[in-house]
Amino acid sequence: MNRKALVLFSGGQDSTVCLAWALQHFEHVETIGFDYGQRHRVELDCRQRIVDGIKAAFPQWAHKLGEDRVIDLGWLGQISDCALTEEREIELMENGLPNTFVPGRNLVFFMISSAVAYRRGLSTLVGGMCQTDYSGYPDCREDALKALQVATNIGMASNFRFELPLMWIDKSETFKLAEQLGGEPLLDIVNKLTHTCYFGDHTTVNDWGYGCGKCPACELRKAGWEKFKANA
């Protein structure tokens, strides 16, 4: 079996835990990020600090880390017309979805990642999508991503596997997974180096990490941390 993986790595909590998960399970791990004009673009600035932190705290993983790349998807932000790429209030749309939904974002991410993985000889793609604790985005659902996996393998005559370690766990369990993978050192990396806040607030420090504490992403992360600590 090809023991090489490509992690969709944004610089946020979920993708950082997925990166640790991949380093635990694979012999060689590369990373890919996307700049699509997101309001919280500060997450991209966190990526290298997270990687450096992992290398320092987990020397047994350091040699497994391979190439990193950030893909410019500015066009996605230009056509998304949403609160995640424009300065506007977060609210529900008529279809019941929050206006932070970037249509097709995760589908595009996986398609581009598959093209990179094809050329790099990486058989597994790892993403932090979850439909347990999430904002209702349809392209975070397992059925959407598994269907895309099938289509990608047909279209590229390949045998990619999309791994989604967080799909059926909530945010408190994501913190628990981080603890299981790397103990307090990994929890410190998650809480001190990653970014989740939709508004890009990377100055306000909380027990659970940086963020405004009021946007949907911060609310999910805060509630997950509190539940995790209560069950510790």
pLDDT in tens, the chain (232 residues): 579 999 999 999 999 999 999 999 999 999 999 999 898 889 999 999 999 999 999 999 999 999 999 999 999 888 888 888 888 888 878 777 777 888 889 999 999 999 999 999 999 999 999 998 777 889 999 999 999 999 999 999 999 999 999 999 999 999 999 999 999 999 999 999 999 999 999 999 999 999 999 999 999 999 999 999 999 8
Residue with tokens 């999309």: 162
The span from the CA of 71 to the CA of 83, in Å, is: 21
Nearest 10 degrees: CA dihedral of 181, 163, 30, 49? -50
Residue type, 8: L
| Alpha helix stretches (DSSP H) within 10-163 | 13-25, 42-57, 59-62, 74-80, 105-120, 142-156
What top-level class would CATH report for the domain 4-231? alpha beta
> What backbone phi and psi angles, to 5 degrees, belong to 5?
-130, 155
> How far apart are the C-alpha atoms of 229 and 231, rounded to whole Å?
5
Q: Model pTM?
A: 0.94
